[in-house]
Structure 1
Amino acid sequence: MITYRDAVTQDGPQLAQMARRCFTETFGTLYRQSDLAAFLDQAFGATGLPGQIDDPAFTIRQAFDGDRIVGFAKLGPNALPLPSDAARGHVAELYQLYVTGDQHGAGVGPTLLEWAIATARYGGADTLALSVYVDNHRAKRFYARYGFVDVGRYDFPVGETIDEDRLMVLAL
């Protein structure tokens, strides 16, 4: 049975390990090892994801199968360069929504996204924004089912490699 709760400080190491594994399994073959390592350290090292658990600007919701983290979503203030006509009112950003491969199709992703949408609304956001890798067609279809629309390109750095991401927004 999958359970959900907000992240706490003690979850940091396990959460970072899960996030590193998910990112590497999904995108690891796209990058030089040095670029991948630099990104993983920046995004999921001590000052990245684990360090944001106690930052009041962020909220991180986790999904557990027993005591194993199988998914998480991180919500916070928007840092994406959205086109002015796409950023309506107060904008929140969904920074990450990761689900382990063994949980794809099991409802973890939808539950986490529905939490993010509800939490952004409750926090007063008028728009929820995210970026998604241009060739991550599964994720783009997933977000589109919830009403997210593509509003432009975003250059996403992974080490020294610059990927094309798509900016997507949902009017809340």
Structure 2
Amino acid sequence: MNAPTIRPATAADLPEIDRIFRTSFCDTFAHLYQAEDLAAFLGGFTPAGWTAEFTDPAYAFAVGLIDGEIAGYAKLGPNKLPHVESEGTVELKQLYLLKAAHGSGLAAQLMEWALAEARRRQARRMALSVWSENWRAQAFYRRFGFADRGPVTFMVGNHPDEDRVWEASL
């Protein structure tokens, strides 16, 4: 396996980004939900929705490749989370990898891209949310200087999850 690489996403990458999102989300979380709640949640992610975010200059996407194949991505956008000051804050909306990419260093590279892109956009802070029981993700974000700021409800269909809002100064 070659070292992972990062590049800006293109519109042509959106179907693969969608596939990685669905695969990673389901691999990690599907067991927590009733089928109808999971289907309702995933149904909110459409080709038109991905395209609208991709073409909105308030968002930024990068993909991570291993051996020339997209194995993960990161997406930044406007902060919608509580517990952090909105002005000057960018939100890490998504950072997903396929299971085969775990341990490859790709997640760290995508996180470095996200932090650099937030700084390029002159953000002073980055916020994100993570499931309250996703200890692996929380340890990962802690390594990048993020701290827990409080709870937020994350809906998957009609199922409320407790996520935690994390924030880092840039």
Deviation per residue, 1:96-121 (Å, 9 max, x gap): 01111111111000000011111101
Deviations 1:16-72 (A, max 9, x none): 011100000000010011111111121x32233344222211100001224432110
Structure 1 length-normalised TM: 0.92
Q: Would you say the 8 A contact 2:5–2:106 is kept in 1?
A: no
Deviations 1:101-143 (A, max 9, x none): 1111110000000111111011010110000001100000000
Match of 2:155 among 151, 154, 157: 157
Give the total of aligned pairs. Answer: 168
Alpha-carbon RMSD: 1.4
Structure 2, unaligned runs of 5 or more: none
Alpha-carbon distance, 1:4 to partner: 1.7
Alpha-carbon contact 2:88-2:125 (below 8 Å) kept: yes
Contact 2:73 2:95 in 1 (8 A): yes
Identity among equivalent pairs (%): 42
Which consecutive unaligned segments of at least 5 residues does structure 1 have? none
AA matched with 2:127: A
SS at match of 1:143: helix
Q: Which aligned pairs between 1:58-137 and structure 2 lie closer than 5 A?
A: 58-81=59-82, 83=83, 86-87=84-85, 89-137=87-135
1:130 maps to amino acid:
L
| TM-score between both structures, scaled by the size of structure 2 | 0.93
Residues 75 and 27 of structure 1, relative CA distance in 2, 3 Å threshold: same
